[in-house]
Each structure stands twice: as C-alpha cells, then as structure tokens.
Structure 1
Amino acid sequence: MFTALGLETTDEAVYREMLESPALGVEEIAARLATCPDRVRACLDKLFELQLIQESFEAPGRFLAVEPAVGLQQLLVRQHDELIERQRQIADSHASFLRMLAGTGARSSRGGGIERLEGMDAVQRRLQELARDAVREVLTFMPGGPQSAAALRAARRNDGHVLGRGVRIRTIGLDGVREDAATLDYARWLTEQRGEFRTAASLPPRMILVDGASALLPIDPDDTRRGALCLSEPALLAPLLALFEQTWERSTPLGSARPALSGHEGALLACIAQGHTDESAAKQLHISPRTARRMMASLMDRLGARSRFEAGLKAARLGWL
C-alpha cells in the first residue's frame, strides 16, 4: 500500500521505526536499517514533504511520526487532488487538440483524414453511418451529466442496432448520471443488452470511437450543436484510443459503488451545506483556499451539479451528507 502511495521501501522502513521508537535519532535509525545516515535524512525529507512526520513542539529540531490514521488520510487526499488535477489537464489538452483540429478541418477534405460536419443533422447522419458499419467496438465519452431525452432516444436506437450485430459497446459517463433516472435507465438498458457502462469523476469532451478507425469529436467542446470533426487518420486516432483506455481503467462499473468520499471532501460538503464559502470552509478544514476550490469543482463534476446549491441538494439525496 505504501508503494502505491509513492513511498519506497526504505521510506516506509524509516517511518515505521519512527512510529515504534520515537526517541531514535538519525544515526540509530540508520544502524537499525543497515543503511547510511544520509539515506535516512533523504527519507526524512520525503516524509516531511508528504506530511507523514512533523517537528516536535517540545523539542525543536526533532521530528515525530504522524499517526498513520491521520498521515495516510492526508496523503490519500493529496493524491486524490493530484489525480483530479491530472484529469483536468488531460481534458484541457484534449479540448486544445480539438480546437487545433477544427482549424485544420476547415481546410481538409474527407480524404485527408479529417472531415468537418456542420450542424447536428450532419453529425447524426454520420453517427448512423458509423453505427451501421461498425463491426468490432464502439467507445464513447458521455460528459455533461444527465442527457436529454432526444439524445437518449437516439443512443438507444443506434446502440440497439450495433449490439444486435454483436458489436461491443463501452461508454463512460460522469458520476452524477447515477442519480438521473432517465440517464441511469439508459445505462442499465445498455448493460442488460451486454454493453458496458462506467462512470468517472471527470471526463474529456464528448467523443465516439468506432473500430479504432474513426472518431467523432465536437468542433467546439462548449457548443456541440456547431457540429463535429470525423477523424480517420491513424496518427490522430492512436492518442484518443489511449486516452479512452486510461480513463476506462480509472472508472467505476455501473453495478459498483462509487469510491467513498475522502475525509476532507465530506467535511467540505458539510461546510458548504452550512453556508460557508470555499475560503471560510478552507479555514475550518485547515487547507488552502485553492485546494478547497479544486475539491469543490471536483465534487460538482462528480455530482453533475451546475451550482454549489445544487451540489448540496444532490449530495444530500445520495447520502453524502
């Protein structure tokens, strides 16, 4: 477990020695572990940075191990925040990639590997063509939280034809769709038809990949009604396929419970429900305002909420508060 949290074997050993024998100094720990004092000091630097040890109030200059229940919880929260930030960076890079392609697509022909589809009618026609021609697998990012009735009807129609031919379908939606009756009904229907549906805390913009040979992406991630780009160039498809697989591995299957909230996330939601701002909640939790804002943005994504008030209501309905 410690390795998964970023600690090496020697780091863990030093931490355990400090827990079991708080009075030991650097030289004594080094002797017990049969290593050099400089290696122990390097481990102490790392443990201090990870907030697993702290300076003693009674003896300045001496460090004490933080209790595992506290220290590891803080480390898990930090790693969770870093993961969310990484997902946001991936989504931002993906959006920039789409904008770059949009400019290129305006000058490209269908034969050049990038086709520009103007308007939703053109997009729907191409989706029907891709669904008709799919032979192996259809992969979909479904961001935006709860889906419209029209979108769900179209998805059922296209997916039904595809699944009927034995083609595999894998779809990833946001965690928030689990409490939207219509979208959840579609997801359950999909799994009953032997499709697969998972959810994630955050997602890149909408994307549909067919047989690893074609991809549909919005021209403008902020306004999907403008149309889409249809990509068929292998060099463009490879990173999109890799992005989907990475996101799929981190996502939660529909029949599984979502990962529990971290201690700080639950406390932050409770503060927000009491009327605190991000800044005042940060003071209550002894974290930075920036961390509080990032955590709140992540929670709103997971809940599919457009406001802090809506996030509080949905969290209460889900039993998060």
Structure 2
Amino acid sequence: MSVTLDLEELDQTVYEEVLARPELGLAELAARLGVEPDRVRDCLDRLFALRLVQASFETPGRFTVVDPVLGMQRLLDQQYEELVRRHRRAAGHQQALVRILAGAGSGGSPAEGVERLAGLDAVQRRLERLALEARSEVLTFMPGGPQSPAALEAAERNDALVLGRGVAIRTIGLDLVREDPGTLRYSRALLAGGGAFRTVAALPTRMVLVDRTHALVPIDPADSRQGALSLSAPGMIAPLVALFEREWGAAVPLGADPSEAVYVPTEQERSLLGLLAEGHTDESAAGQLHISARTARRIMASLIERLGARSRFEAGLRAARLGWV
C-alpha cells in the first residue's frame, strides 16, 4: 500500500491514532508513538495533502480525520486517476513507436525487423503460426473489455496448442472483463490449462509477445481491422517486454476459484466493515452486532485474507473499491 498510495507505515499509524484519539496534539502524538515530533509532522503533512486529516475547527492545535469511508474513496479516486494518467503516458509512447514503425515499413524497403500484416485474416494466420512455433512463453495484452465469441474461440484454440507443449502463457485483461461471462469463461479455461490471467484498470493497446523475440502490435490501435505490425528486432522487442512486465507486476491475479471473482460479503461482514470504518473498536463493533470480540476479529482476519490486504487500513480501501462498505 505504501507504494501505490504514497503512504508509509507510520502515516497509517498516525491516521489511526488521530482517528482513535482526536484530543491529542502533535507533541502528544509523538510521545505516544515514541517518535520524533518532526516525523509525526511529516506524516500529518502527507495526510493533509491527501485530505485524510484536517485541523480541528473546535480546538486549535488539534486534528481530526476525514470520515474514513470518504477518505478511502478519495484515496481510491486519486490512485485511479494516477493509474489512468500513467497508462495514457505508456499508451502514448507505445503508439508513437507503432506509428514510427508503420511509417518505416510503408516505403519500398521495409524497416529491418518490421513486417506489415494487412487485415484481420493475415493477423490471425500469423498468430496461429506463432502459436505453433512458440517455445518458452506467450505474453498478451487484452484491452477493449469483453471479447467477441469468435476472438475468444480463436484465442482458446491457440492457447491449447501452446499450453499442450508446456509453453507458459500470461495474459493481462481489463478489470471489467471479470463481469463478462464469455471472457471470464475463457480466462478460467486458460487458468485450468496452466496459464495465468491478471487484470488492470487500463491497458495501452493490444499486444502479443512470443518467446521475447517476436511481437504483434496493431498498425492503428484505434482500428485493429487495419492489421498489425510483426516486430522481431531486439531493440523493438525489449521495451515491449519491459512494458508488459511493469503492467504484470501491477495487475491483480484472477484466482482459480470462480467464487473469488463473484464473492459477495454477508450482511454481518458488511456491517462489521461499516462499523470499523466509522471508528469503532473490535469490542464496540462486536457489541453492536451482538457477537464476541473474538468472533469480530476472526471475521475481520478472514476478510483481510480474502481481500489480499496487508493491514486493516488496506483492507478498508479494497473493500470500499469493491463497494462492500
């Protein structure tokens, strides 16, 4: 979380301390946490910048936190906006490269390592050939949301050929495909065959990389019907591999268990998340729900694990993003 939200562990601790004890000032916070006042001041500055903490209107020199649910949503909005900006920059760089390569290959003597494939049929024939020739791995960007039945059928057929020979497949799609039955079925088949599938909020453009030696990218990312460029020059392949690996590291795995993608928290789980987001302790939340504090902690631990979070704060962010709170 500290990487994606620009928050350090101490920032989270300060936030939680202000939430639990709004009567404390800077010096008191520092003394309670056992750290230098300047470090607490730096944390508060970051929290102020993120609009998670603000000065108290009632007591000068004291602080108050923004409503946790609202604060979580603000963080998610900022994170998403930065993610979209980053993807747009990456897409712009990749599309500029594609335009340069397309121009280089459009004259009488094609650029070395660049081949133009005109039309969808030519692209599909090349994909089938690459599927037969692949020896180590196939890396794919799958943008555009839900895929057509014909495209999914062709992809599944090629995947079976590749996986059958022990070649690794890693595919990145968009988050919204988790809600599309056809694409979700395809991704489950890929996982069942030994492949890997992850999703992100946005992708630069469609791309297929084979054995880190060949790549297919669209001639025009806005109109895939024009065909693709087949790239093989190492200087062209290396940045595309780096782009894929960067996106793969930030993508969210699609679990092998179908229930993961469609899990709906129980009313008790939603109520517990809501109470904790309002600032209740385990004990007070448990009292509201008429369960023991031990049961409340067990439920929360299960939710943290299911959400893949490393802390309650991060679990709250992910729960808000999923609409559980």
TM-score, normalization: structure 1? 0.68
**Map of 1:235 onto structure 2:** 235
The change in CA–CA distance for 1:76 and 1:108 in structure 2 (over 3 A counts) is farther
Residues 57, 241 of structure 1: alpha-carbon distance in 2 compared, 3 angstrom cutoff: same
Asked if 1:252 corresponds to 2:274, the answer is: no
* 1:148 equivalent in alignment to 2:148: yes
Amino acid at match of 1:150: A
Q: Are 1:231 and 1:237, in contact at CA under 8 Å, matched by a contact in 2?
A: yes
8 A Cα contact 2:188 2:256, kept in partner: no
Aligned amino acid, residue 119 of structure 1: G
Letter in 2 for 1:230: S
Contact 1:108-1:114 within 8 A present in 2 as well: no
Residue 23 of structure 1, CA deviation:
4.1
User: In structure 1, how many angstroms separate the alpha carbons of the residues matched to 2:166 and 2:193?
Assistant: 10
Q: Distance in 2 between matches of 1:183 and 1:51?
A: 38
1:213 maps to a residue whose letter is T
Partners of 1:90 and 1:259 lie apart in 2 by 31
What are the equivalent positions in structure 2 for 1:103-182 lying under 5 Å apart? 103-107=103-107, 112-182=112-182
State TM-score, norm by structure 2: 0.67
Cα deviation, 1:72-103, whole Å, max 9, x if unaligned, reads: 45334432332233233323332333223222
Report 1:52-67 matches (<5 A): 52-59=52-59, 62-66=62-66
What is the Cα deviation at residue 220 of structure 1?
0.2
1:229 Cα offset (Å) = 0.7
The amino acid that maps onto 1:105 is G
Partner of 2:85: 85
Offset of residue 228 of structure 1: 0.8
Q: Name the structure 2 match of 1:206.
A: 206
Q: CA deviation at 1:211?
A: 0.3
Question: Aligned AA for 1:217?
Answer: V
**Contact preservation (8 Å) 1:3, 1:9:** no
Task: State how far apart, in whole Å, the 2-side matches of 1:215 and 1:78 are.
Answer: 33
Report the identity percentage. 56
What is the RMSD of the two structures over their aligned residues, measured on CA atoms? Answer: 3.4
Partner of 1:298: none
Shift of 1:160: 2.6
Report if the CA contact (8 A) 1:48-1:54 is conserved.
Answer: yes
Name the residue aligned to 1:194.
194
Write the deviation string for residues 96-127 of structure 1: whole angstroms up to 9, x where unpaired.
33223222232485671222222223222322
Q: CA deviation at 1:170?
A: 1.9
- Whether the aligned pair in 1 keeps the contact of 2:192 and 2:256 (CA below 8 Å) is no
* 1:210, distance to aligned residue in structure 2 (A): 0.4
Cα 1:206–1:74 change in 2 (3 A) is same
| Corresponding residue pairs, total | 264
Change (3 A) 1:258 1:200: farther
Instruction: Give 1:32 deviation, angstroms.
Output: 5.7
User: Cα 1:254–1:173, aligned 2, differ >3 Å: closer, same or farther?
Assistant: farther
User: What amino acid does structure 2 have at the position aligned with 1:253?
Assistant: L
**2:192 partner amino acid:** E
Write the distance in 2 (CA, Å) between the matches of 1:95 and 1:105: 15
Residues 15/157 of structure 1: CA separation in 2 closer, same or farther (3 Å cut): closer
Q: Deviations over 1:197-223 (max 9, x none)?
A: 333322221111000000000000111
Unaligned 5+ segments in structure 2 are 265-321
Unaligned runs of 5+ in 1: 262-317
**Alpha-carbon distance in structure 1 between the residues aligned to 2:57 and 2:12:** 24
Matched position secondary structure for 1:112: coil
Deviations 1:265-303 (A, max 9, x none): xxxxxxxxxxxxxxxxxxxxxxxxxxxxxxxxxxxxxxx
The letter for the 2-side match of 1:201 is: A
Secondary structure, aligned partner of 2:198: strand
CA contact (8 A) 2:4 2:79 kept: no
Which deviates further from its counterpart, 44-53 or 152-161?
Answer: 152-161
Contact 1:18–1:24, Cα closer than 8 Å, also in 2: yes
- Give the whole-Å Cα distance in 1 for the aligned partners of 2:218 and 2:101: 10
